[in-house]
Amino acid sequence: MNYQFTIIVPVFNEEDNLIRVEQALVDYIKIANKKAKILFVNDGSIDKSLELIENICKRQPDFTFISFDKNRGLSTAIKAGFDYVDTELVGYIDSDLQTAPEDFNLLLEYIGEYDLVTGVRANRKDGFVKNMSSTIANSIRRAFTHDGMDDTGCPLKVIKTDYAKRIPMFNGLHRFLPAMILLQKGKIIQIPVQHFPRIAGTAKFGLWNRLLGPLVDCFAYLWMKKKYINYSVTKKDNE
């Protein structure tokens, strides 16, 4: 099939959510603005997630998966998804379904003009500590990156695959996707999307991950930015 859009779904111990994820994504594929397929990335789950993913992919022709030998972290799962994508556009959504797949259509409306379109969670349904730590972490990140984004942790994004594949790997990558596109001289925009409370499973990030972790990652980003290689070819042989 001539797929145009691959949605990456990182999974780590989400056995209680995966049937809901399957149905939500099946429903979305029917209304997607682009011909879409799904790529699960099993991040070394130790529950029944991999078994469920395998069964889902057997009964859903638009679903595929890759699986790690052990837990490698969200950034690695996203980067591996980028590496395996073969469509012109790539998206990303968390398997907790706190964002809605149908909102990908809102982001896709802007992807022609922009190289990354990210959601910003309107009326977030998280607790006080999670909301406050995320607000502080986003402020710290903006001070370092000047990316202008209010909510880079929003697990709903669409990126042109050419740009996604040029993003270098490092831990904490998922917090810096807009900044990494800016380093490539790409254009980015944020669009309000829906947000819902987690219904099943448990959150994978604690206070360290949301607050102190991003601060450490900012220094890694500054080092990488200084070393980053960017170029454009203006002419080739036989042209």
Tell me, what CATH number does 132's domain have? Answer: 3.90.550.10
Structure tokens at 25: 């994504």
Mode of pairing for the β-strands spanning 5-11 and 36-42? parallel
pLDDT at 144: 61
* Overall average pLDDT of the 234-239 stretch: 73
**pTM exceeds cut of 0.75:** yes
Residue 180 counted as domain residue: yes
Q: What is the pLDDT of residues 26-65, one digit of tens each?
A: 999 999 999 999 999 999 999 999 999 999 999 999 999 9
Looking at the DSSP bridge assignments, the partners of residue 117 are: 158, 189
Amino acid at site 7: I
Residue 237 counted as domain residue: no
Rg for the chain (alpha carbons), in Å? 17
pLDDT at 179: 86
Mode of pairing for the β-strands spanning 188-193 and 36-42? unpaired
Residue 239 counted as domain residue: no
Q: What is the pLDDT of residues 58-102, one digit of tens each?
A: 999 999 999 999 999 998 999 999 999 999 999 999 999 999 999
Of 210, 207, 177, which Cα lies nearest the Cα of 107? 177
> How many distinct structural domains can be found in the chain?
1
Looking at the DSSP bridge assignments, the partners of residue 38 are: 7, 63
Which has the higher per-residue pLDDT, 216 or 120?
Answer: 120
Residue 117 counted as domain residue: yes
- Give the angle subtended at the CA of 118 by the CAs of 117 and 121, to the nearest 5°: 145
Helix (H) or strand (E) segment spanning residue 6: strand 5-11
